[in-house]
Amino acid sequence: MAPRALDYESLNENVKKVQYAVRGELYLRASELQKEGKKIIFTNVGNPHALGQKPLTFPRQVVALCQAPFLLDDPNVGFLFPADAIAKAKHYLAMTTGGLGAYSDSRGMPGVRKEVADFIERRDGYPSDPELIFLTDGASKGVMQILNTIICGESDGVLVPVPQYPLYSAAISLFGGSLVPYYLEETANWGLDVNDLRQSVAQARYKGITVKAMVIINPGNPTGQCLSEANLREILRFCYQENLALLGDEVYQQNIYQDERPFISARKVLMGMGPPMSKEVQLVSFHTVSKGYWGECGQRGGYFEMTNIPPKTVDEIYKVASVSLSPNVPAQIFMGLMVNPLKPGDISYEQFIRESKGIIESLRRRARMMTDGFNSCKNVICNFTEGAMYSFPQIRLPPKAIEAAKKAGKVPDVFYCLKLLEATGISTVPGSGFGQKEGVFHLRTTILPAEEEMPEIMASFKKFNNEFMEQYDDRSGYSRL
């Protein structure tokens, strides 16, 4: 019998090539152990509410009223909801064409896109056009839509930082393109050298690959570094010289844990550089409600903004967005609430500030606790998490451990992470899932476990790590940078 359409051997080869380590072997094994009754600490994905972060009260009140608009007609509604939440719910319901159960424009509700544009103008000091802003089901959908638009075939390349968030490698594989890696330098706090970028482009071109775009993740995932204005200027100048579109993944812009390098958007720097670059460099910037002190991952709200993209291209992107009819409408309201927040004097303002500030301050403390905890462990080196939600420590594996991994048929850092999971219940992601230099091994963990649980988690990690190193220590040398 001939293979049927959905038999494995008949599938699209690009689908088979896709790998996504964040929900890979470690996650599947952790899920099995959880079913068997073992307590699992899922630090493999930046999912704040799953690890105990409380939702912000005000946005949930507003969306609750929008989801159940009959409550607005109840004479007792003012006893259950503050007046500013009631007013905001009416504000957003008036933007819809039939409530949250009705499709919106395929780009998202015009009123919310205007609020996003106003937010960008306040943040960057330069006007933003709502017609060039598309609301999406999380930032990931926007990234995939833009990559799908750029990639025409395997000879089209996209520069991606290594280590990288595997959304990029997965999407590039799915759309049949070529990932062109540029390596971040761990010893320089995951810094970027433009000379390395030039070398990566030259090597790709030598292989017949046309490099069309470059990805930056700022703050970094999994590496946690924040790009300075000088870094961004260099990157934008490089994109101008090499005729590359820049994709700015800026979803962690609220997650900053130091004062030396505050978040600055690529668009702000580009506009400040003036013509010709400010008029010619093609830039697409992404943001989301999933990160920061919102942490609303399950709502799936995001946007992308296009700068210097030709109108005909915008029309094509709109056409493809129309195939899905509408981004999810409740998430659009979350986005509106994020970019058009409460102001001093609003009834719910003080509570909102208290909740949001408390989350960020706690994350800042947890970033320090985790970095210090890793650096106290034998054969573990970890840069401080300046931003985002992750630590990415280097694990200096003894040769005996690397040999044991090979015998078990495992990549060495997968072997280590599986042993860690079995011993402690801590579910991480091996560094090989993000890309790393040959012979160097890492793991990624979120900094999201509850602050009061962090000392116990780090003590558990340290005990496991030190016993692992003792078991495999032959004192003949280690994997290292």
- Does 275 score more than 90 pLDDT? yes
- Does 337 score more than 80 pLDDT? yes
> pLDDT value at position 80?
94
Mean local confidence (pLDDT), 32-56: 90
pLDDT tens track for 287-310 = 999 999 999 999 999 999 999 999
- Does 478 score more than 70 pLDDT? no
> pLDDT value at position 18?
83
Dist. CA 262–CA 58, nearest whole Å: 26
Q: What percent of the chain has pLDDT over 70?
A: 98
Residues 6+ apart with CB under 8 A from 173: 14, 17, 18, 19, 179
> pLDDT value at position 50?
86
Produce one character per residue of 175-211: b if its CB has 16 or more CB atoms within 10 Å, e if not: bbbbbbbbbbebeebbebeeeebeebbeebeeeebeb
CB 468 within 8 A of CB 478: no
- Does 189 score more than 90 pLDDT? no
> pLDDT value at position 475?
64
- Dihedral sign of CA atoms 377, 378, 383, 387 in order: negative
**Six-digit token pair at 463?**
């005990």
- Domains of the chain in sequence order: 8-38+357-472 (3.90.1150.10), 95-339 (3.40.640.10)
- Does 477 score more than 70 pLDDT? no
